[in-house]
Structure 1
Amino acid sequence: MTDEREVQEVLAHYVRATDRRDGKAQGALFTDDATVQIYAKSTAGDYEPVGEPLVGGRGVEYAVANFMPPHPPGGSSHHTTADHLVEVDGDRAHLNAQFIVFEVRPEAIRPIESGYYDTDLRRIDGNWKIVRHHVLMDVPVSR
């Protein structure tokens, strides 16, 4: 498998863990000192940080367990990613991909979020890990 494909698969595991609300699996994709920041698009079209950054895989695991609402009975979410731009330079990589999140309920499926994932990774002991992850939301996030 190519380095580019391995990097792309990290994002595939990330969105699947998010959909399952599996903080342990999602946190395992990050280094201990990784930073994760959500940004909301302003009316001027630039991005502003929302809240404080998460730090490390443990921070990600904690956030999934404590801040993401559980799915209601019969409900789920479904992330899709597209247009992956991957650059690899030795043991460092950059990934940028568009995303859409769908809310799945017994009565309907509807898009609820979209934006870009902008992510830096590093190969550590043969495995790609996320060291910086920015979630660039298309719609302003309430503060």
Structure 2
Amino acid sequence: MLGKMLNIEDEREIQFLLAHYVHYLDAADGPRWAALFTQDGRWIRRNAAPVEQGGSGIAAGVRQGRAELAALAEFSVQNFKGLCRHQMTDVVLWQGADAGTAEGKCRMIISDFRHGPGRVAMAGSYDLSFTRTPEGWRIAALSADFLPR
């Protein structure tokens, strides 16, 4: 899993990017959330977390490009009515194949407050790929594996 360590500035910029990922998603800011990805960035859902078990109802599959990603963010916000919080934890980042790429892994937790006190609705893990662009570091691909299955 682990490769060469990133330099501190690249790691800080990617951590900053990931913090914006959860804040923009929870704030219903689909266009800004989608802009965290490369133009052809991919959000891959390897499995679906069933609605009856607290999942979002988003089907497994690939969403690619900023327009599709912004629509995905809008669906998530409508589904959870703005009453969920995404959290990325245990983030590990390392150098990719060259200085313009990076890889990572993290865990994620989604808390749901739609029915009063919060509860964990979903948990899982992300595999992450980043590319350095003229805009700065961007997510090239995020592959999600959700619980419950």
TM-score, structure 1 normalization:
0.80
Q: Which residue of 1 aligns with 2:26?
A: 19
| Residue pair 1:8, 1:95 contacting (<8 A) in 2 also | no
- Helix, strand or coil for the counterpart of 2:13? helix
Q: Which residue of 1 aligns with 2:4?
A: none
Structure number with the higher helix fraction is 2
2:68 equivalent to 1:59: yes
How many residue pairs get matched?
A: 131
Deviation >3 Å, runs of 4+: none
Q: Structure 2: give runs of 5+ residues left out of the alignment.
A: 1-7, 49-58
1:97 to 91, 106, 118: 106
- Helix, strand or coil for the counterpart of 1:36? strand
Deviation per residue, 1:72-108 (Å, 9 max, x gap): 4xx6211222111101241101121111111124731
RMSD of equivalent CA atoms: 2.3
- Report percent identity of matched pairs: 25
Structure number with the higher strand fraction is 1
| Residue pair 2:83, 2:113 contacting (<8 A) in 1 also | yes
- Helix, strand or coil for the counterpart of 1:2? helix
2:131 equivalent to 1:110: no
Q: Structure 1: give runs of 5+ residues left out of the alignment.
A: 42-49
Distance 2:83 2:144 in 1: 20
Distance 1:68 1:80 in 2: 15
Query: How far does residue 62 in structure 1 lie from its aligned partner after superposition?
Result: 1.6
Partner amino acid for 2:129? D
| Residue pair 2:26, 2:77 contacting (<8 A) in 1 also | no
TM-score, structure 2 normalization:
0.77
| Residue pair 1:21, 1:70 contacting (<8 A) in 2 also | no
Distance 1:3 1:91 in 2: 10
Query: How far does residue 126 in structure 1 lie from its aligned partner after superposition?
Result: 5.4
